[in-house]
Amino acid sequence: MAKKGAETCSWTLSMFMLLFLINLPALYGEELESLLPFRDSIKDPLGFLSNWSSSTSSCNWPGITCDNPPHVKRIELSGKNISGKISGSIFQLQYVEFIDLSDNQLLGEIPHNLFSCPSLLSLNLSNNNISGPLPSISISRLETLDLSNNMLSGKIPDNIGLLWSLKFLDLGGNILVGKIPNSISNLTVLQVFTLASNKLVGQIPGEIGRMKNLKWIYLGYNNLSDEIPKEIGDLTSLNHLDLVYNNLSGLIPSSLGNLTSLQYLFLYKNKLTGPIPRSLFNLKKLVSLDLSDNSLSGEIPELISELQNLEILHLFSNNLTGKIPAALASLPRLQVLQLWSNKLSGKIPEDLGRRNNLTIVDLSSNFLVGKIPKSLCNSGRLFKLILFSNSLQGEIPQSLSSCISLRRVRIQNNRLSGDLSSEFTKLPLVYFLDISGNNLSGRIDVQKWDMPSLEMLSLAKNKIFGELPGSFGSGKLQNLDLSENQFSGNIPKSFGRLSDLMLLQLSENKLSGNIPEELSSCKKLVSLDLSHNHLSGNIPISLAELPALGQLDLSANQLSGEIPPNLGRIESLGEVNISHNHFNGRLPSTGAFLAINASAVAGNDLCGGDASSGLPPCKSLKSRMWWYVMTCFLVALAMFALAALVILFIQRREELELKRVENEDGILWEMQFFDSRASKSITVDDILSSAKQENVIMRDGKERSYGGKSSMSNMQFVVKEMNDPNSIPPSFWSVIPEFGRLRHPNIIRLIGVCRSTERGFLVYGNAEGKNLSEILGNLSWERRRKIAIGIAKALHFLHGYCSPSVLVGIISPEKVLVDGKDEARLSLDLSGRLACTDNKCLQIIPSACIAPGT
- CATH number of the domain within which 688 lies: 1.10.510.10
Is the domain of 125 the same as that of 230? yes
Q: Phi and psi at residue 154, in whole multiples of 5°?
A: 80, -170
Taking residue 617's Cβ as centre, other Cβ atoms within 10 Å add up to: 9
Q: Which one of 598, 613, 628 terminates a domain? A: 613
Instruction: Give the C-alpha separation, 42 to 4, whole Å.
Output: 58
Q: Mapping DSSP to helix (H, G, I), strand (E, B) and coil, where does residue 672 land?
A: strand
**Does residue 389 lie in a domain region?**
no
**Does residue 766 lie in a domain region?**
yes
Q: Which one of 198, 214, 236 terminates a domain? A: 236
Is the domain of 51 the same as that of 197? yes
pTM: 0.71
pLDDT digits (tens, 9 = 90+) for 6-23: 444 444 434 434 333 333
Say which DSSP state 683 is in.
-
CATH of the domain at 41: 3.80.10.10
Taking residue 389's Cβ as centre, other Cβ atoms within 10 Å add up to: 20
Is the domain of 718 the same as that of 792? yes
Determine the pLDDT at residue 627. 47
Is the domain of 833 the same as that of 751? yes
Residue 340: burial class (beta carbons within 10 Å; 0-12, 13-18, 19+): buried
Using an 8 Å Cβ cutoff, are 63 and 86 in contact? Answer: no
Q: What are the Cα distances from residue 458, in Å, to 420, 477, 521?
A: 13, 11, 22
Q: Mapping DSSP to helix (H, G, I), strand (E, B) and coil, where does residue 28 land?
A: helix
Is the domain of 85 the same as that of 229? yes
Q: Please report, rounded to a whole number, the percentage of residues in the chain having pLDDT higher than 70.
A: 82
**Does residue 318 lie in a domain region?**
no
Write the single-letter amino acid at 31: E
**Does residue 290 lie in a domain region?**
no
**Does residue 226 lie in a domain region?**
yes
Q: What total number of domains does the chain contain?
A: 3
Using an 8 Å Cβ cutoff, are 490 and 470 in contact? Answer: no
Is the domain of 585 the same as that of 732? no
Determine the pLDDT at residue 833. 38
Is the domain of 538 the same as that of 685? no
Determine the pLDDT at residue 757. 72
Determine the pLDDT at residue 709. 67
Is the domain of 171 the same as that of 33? yes
Residues forming a β-bridge with 323: 345
Residues of the chain with pLDDT under 70: 1-29, 115-116, 620-658, 663-666, 676, 691-707, 709-714, 723-735, 776-778, 799-810, 829-854
Q: Mapping DSSP to helix (H, G, I), strand (E, B) and coil, where does residue 814 land?
A: helix
Using an 8 Å Cβ cutoff, are 77 and 46 in contact? Answer: no
**Does residue 369 lie in a domain region?**
no
Using an 8 Å Cβ cutoff, are 376 and 351 in contact? Answer: no
User: Which residue range is the domain that position 555 belongs to?
Assistant: 490-613
Is the domain of 71 the same as that of 173? yes
**Does residue 279 lie in a domain region?**
no
Q: Phi and psi at residue 169, in whole multiples of 5°?
A: -135, 120
Is the domain of 571 the same as that of 713? no
Q: Which one of 570, 598, 613 terminates a domain? A: 613
Determine the pLDDT at residue 748. 84
Region of 724 please: left (phi>0), alpha (psi -120 to 50) or beta.
left
Is the domain of 599 the same as that of 686? no
Is the domain of 178 the same as that of 85? yes
**Does residue 432 lie in a domain region?**
no
